[in-house]
Chains A and B, each alone.
Chain A
Amino acid sequence: MGSIVLEKVEKTFGEVTVIPPIDLEIGDGEFTVFVGPSGCGKSTLLRLIAGLEDVSAGRVLIDGRDATDLAPAKRGLSMVFQSYALYPHMSVRANIAFPLKMAGMTAHEIDAKVTAAAATLNLTDYLDRKPKQLSGGQRQRVAIGRAIVRQPSAFLFDEPLSNLDAALRVQMRLEISELHHQLGTTMIYVTHDQVEAMTMADKIVVLNKGRIAQVGSPLDLYRRPDNLFVAGFIGSPKMNFVTGPVAAAHGAHTIGVRPEHLAISADGGDWPGTVGVAERLGSDTFLHVDAGDLGTLTVRAGGDVGFRHGDRVGLTPDPAAIHRFDDKGMAIR
């Protein structure tokens, strides 16, 4: 109970097509992440599923039931918004209880469920506070609490962590993943952050200009990107792309090598270059190497690698890890 299927779903605003027809299946209990750059239509797609926007054509099936024309409340989904959308004049308790109250439950039932949800999310001590008296992470938890009390068939998250600072984001990421394992409910999560996508998802849907660029498990997308867009978007630091005669030698228009698949040596190597900026993270060092005609290449080396700004080095790509793309940007396999 919690599968979502999109059949040729399309969204247009007047003349402008925001989402060309899309087909997508999300299995029960799956953690699916929609990822893509700003304006790629990922939030619109989520709102189409939630029912906050009308689909222009196609069908949305939730649990095998046609939900295309159902009101948002009737779809059995709950959503966590980017701004959290807590009701400012209500206490945390009233916020979490609101969907239950609207469903017409008795005060006794509501109380039991709110208490249980608060315990799950460590909010018990804050139940009588107003949202503005809470920190960002606590507000986020209240928003999640309001979403889980209804026991929906699926959760929708619209960039829920983008207003939090970096440390808290990592922690909330873990908490949401943990929650998914506890509840086993389908979750759809929208983000522009590929790290969030890689770490949390069972299945990633990469969107580019409203179209699905590729669907697959995180490691699938990392190892076998279908096209230049996915290759460049997934992985951090970004994959290095090389065109020209070097690429032609591999029988491709463009070749891509991830920074971790470039070996760096003081002499020799296939591609000579000069070290530019070296970013030392402790565990790793990212070296930006100016390789002449090939452009600037990023290399991921060990934390104690000794190269400095201005050193002459040679780079050698791992031949098994070279991704080849044709002139349309599609992968050659």
Chain B
Amino acid sequence: MSTQHSRAAARLLVAPSVVLLFLWMIVPLAMTVWFSFLRFNLLMPGTREWIGFLNYEFFLTDPAFFAAVANTLAIVLGVLAITIVGGILFALLLDQPFFGQGAVRLLMIAPFFVMPTVSALVWKNMFMNPVNGLFAWLQKSVGMAPHDWLATTPLLAVIVIVAWQWLPFSTLILLTALQSLDEEQREAAELDGAGALARFRYIVLPHLSRAITVVILIQTIFLLSVFAEILVTTNGGPGTDSTNLAYLVYAQALLQFDVGGASAGGIVAVVLANIVAFFLMRMIGRTLEG
């Protein structure tokens, strides 16, 4: 029973953490907004004049911005496609009874525990390197010219690396969803004359739809801000071929020392992320209701 008294006490007691969290969020956001209206360049100390929307104008008309938006979307959509299709296939495979199932499932999750910088470097130096890499060796051993992943298809390389990291996550979520499918439904479909493919199409896939939405939601949040993998492999290049929004903001602030421009970019990224979130939540609301 909550009385007037206990409610007041409760408010008083949670107040410090609420205030702290609020400040924690609002202070950086307010400062970013403030900086985005200033000429604030670390190479020109002392000049912090108000320039209105000029930073936004520069950022939004920069050709690198459009490349970055396109690359961000490519990374999100590419990784989602690979992890969901791959995740469903792996989940179906791991759901079968076989010898050493426990050990294989454990190994399957392992990539998720590897730090992004580490895994990206392993991929860069041991797999995708055109001289020493495993892929180059495989190509050379069948007489092909080695493919230089990071120089010729940098965005694809980033997508492959990030997808490898997120595949265990989607596999795990989809596997648990698969295991919650009522066995009698599967048997009923079998008796109704549905073959393996029809059972997948009409019974398994609809059952997985919720889990798939959850995977899309969580992964999109993280994939919009992929950074470490780009930093340690391609540095956003060549040119802006593998620069996404997060990396563009970083380059603006810490490579060109333009804090004002970077702040404007940060705010633009926040707005874009919210637009994506809006559509995502609508889609999810519909799936989770049904």
Chain A residues contacting B194 (CB-CB under 8 Å) are: 73, 98, 102
Chain A residues contacting B185 (CB-CB under 8 Å) are: 85-87
Q: Is B190 within 8 A of A81, CB to CB?
A: no
Does B187 sit at the interface, judged by CB under 8 A?
Answer: yes
Q: Is B193 within 8 A of A85, CB to CB?
A: no
Q: Is B191 within 8 A of A78, CB to CB?
A: yes
* CB-CB contacts below 8 Å: A79-112 with B: 79, 81-83, 85-90, 98-99, 102-103
Does A232 sit at the interface, judged by CB under 8 A?
Answer: no
- How far is it, in angstroms, between the C-alpha of A77 and the C-alpha of B187 when the chains are bound? 13
Does A5 sit at the interface, judged by CB under 8 A?
Answer: no
Min Cβ gap A104→B in Å is 9
Chain A residues contacting B202 (CB-CB under 8 Å) are: 87, 90, 98
**By CB atoms of chain B within 10 A, which of A50, A81, A150 has the most?**
A81
Size of the B side of the interface (Cβ < 8 Å), in residues, is 18
Main secondary structure of the interface of B (DSSP, over half): helix
Q: Is B193 within 8 A of A89, CB to CB?
A: no
Q: Is B191 within 8 A of A98, CB to CB?
A: no
* CB-CB contacts below 8 Å: B174-209 with A: 182, 184-185, 187-194, 198, 202-203, 206-207, 209
Size of the A side of the interface (Cβ < 8 Å), in residues, is 23
Of all chain B residues, which has the CB nearest A104?
Answer: B193
Does A261 sit at the interface, judged by CB under 8 A?
Answer: no
Q: Mark A67-80, 1 if CB is under 8 A from B, else 0.
A: 00001110001110
Chain B residues contacting A134 (CB-CB under 8 Å) are: none
* CB-CB contacts below 8 Å: A42-66 with B: 50, 52
Q: Mark B99-131, 1 if CB is under 8 A from A, else 0.
A: 000000000000000000000000000000000
Q: Is B290 within 8 A of A85, CB to CB?
A: no
- CB < 8 Å neighbour of A102 from B187, B198, B209: B198
Does A146 sit at the interface, judged by CB under 8 A?
Answer: yes
The 6 A-B pairs at the shortest CB distance, nearest first, are namely: A85-B188, A99-B192, A85-B184, A102-B193, A73-B193, A89-B206
- Given A71-B190, A81-B184, A87-B206, 10 extra CB contacts under 8 A: A52-B187, A78-B191, A78-B192, A83-B182, A85-B184, A87-B185, A88-B207, A98-B189, A146-B188, A150-B193
